[in-house]
Structure 1
Amino acid sequence: MDVFEAVVESWDRQARIIDSLAELVTDKNRKVTPGEERLELDMQLCHIHGCRKGWLKQSSPQHLQGLGMAMVQVSEDDWQPNPDLNIIREQVKLSAKAVRDAFTDAVAAGKETLEPYDHPVLFLQHMLWHEGWHAGQIILALRNAGEEPTEEWEEKHIWELWRGVEVWP
């Protein structure tokens, strides 16, 4: 695997982690927060999707094609997470692919920037950093709901994705 492939793979792995965490959000726990004045679980997912769309709009608008909304308008100035968690999850998956495609297309085209980022890698690394933070927020909210993922779940769905299966002596 060369460096470019490793960077793309790092995004794919992070996207799988977010997808796995999204599967832990249920109708029962979707309104739990990681702390006071923090986003509810369903809003964490909508925020991830919305940020991806926002940066794509600025950096690579052609990659917005096919992306929908994770939120629904309930009044003139009030938007709420879609009541159907499966729609939110699907939009998160679609926007992950759009970010991946924006990055790989920019590199393939020899672009030195991906506005407003100084380089396409910096665009993707910002996405990774941002989503890693939200992964922690989601886990903390699940803990607050008494539904923290087990060590075994985290090992399989987070840590093994980054480093492979670890063999303990």
Structure 2
Amino acid sequence: MMATDQNLIAVVLDSWNRNNTILLNLLYALPEGGLSVRALVGGPTAAQLLMHIHSVRLSLVAEDAPEFAPSLPPDLLPEEEWADERDSLRIARMLMASAQAVWNAVQGRTAAGQVMHLHYDHPVLLLQHLIWHEGYHHGQIKLALKIAGLAIADQDAGPCTWAIWMNKEEPK
């Protein structure tokens, strides 16, 4: 790859890291009882949405870049896609593991000049899909918190979400 291509991939992978940081920050900012909130009766809890995010990440890596599908210990594997996990530290460990698997798949397939196996013409499209998907569920969780009377104040949410995206630093 040309140097400019390598720099662009580094920036794109940094955006993925920032996306995961924001998701983890939301998890850490949940007030007492926040994992159990739902936007609608019968809808998924915040915990179920987070577990769904983890499961989707792992599924897409397994389908599109199986050589990067991680061999995770049992405590980091979801029992089911929509599990109602209530241990926030376990959820955080799962999200970190699946985020790393996605990062490895995109970086590895890009470095090899390979498209994804099943769904995407370019590995970066996997990241774009997941960032959009996770932003959607992030909004659902924040809406559910508001409905439950547990909204995270804007002055608390801003530094752990928008400030992460807008931080001007060199990609890692």
Shorter-chain TM-score range: 0.7 to 0.9
- Please give the residue correspondences for 1:6-155 in structure 2 after superposition, counting only pairs within 5 Å: 6-25=11-30, 28-67=33-72, 68-71=76-79, 80-155=83-158
Shift of 1:37: 3.9
State how far apart, in whole Å, the 2-side matches of 1:80 and 1:123 are: 23
- Tell me, which stretches of 5 or more residues in structure 2 are unaligned? none
- How far residue 93 of structure 1 moved from its aligned partner, in angstroms, is 1.1
CA distance in 1, matches of 2:55, 2:127: 15
Shift of the 154–120 alpha-carbon distance from structure 1 to 2, 3 Å rule, reads same
> What is the CA–CA distance in structure 2 between the aligned matches of 1:44 and 1:129, rounded to whole Å?
14
**What is the aligned residue count?**
159
What residue identity is the alignment partner of 1:98? A
Q: Is the 8 A contact 1:26 1:85 kept in 2?
A: no
Give the percent of matched residue pairs that are identical in Structure 1 and Structure 2.
31
Structure in which a larger fraction of residues adopt strand: 1
Moved over 6 A (4+): none
- Partners of 1:70 and 1:81 within 8 A in 2: no
TM value normalised by structure 1 = 0.84
Relative to structure 1, the CA distance from residue 156 to residue 104 in structure 2 (aligned partners, 3 Å threshold; closer, same or farther) is same
8 A Cα contact 1:41 1:138, kept in partner: yes
Letter of the 2:166 counterpart? R
More deviation in 13-22 or 23-32?
23-32
Structure 1: stretches of 5+ with no match in the other structure: 73-78
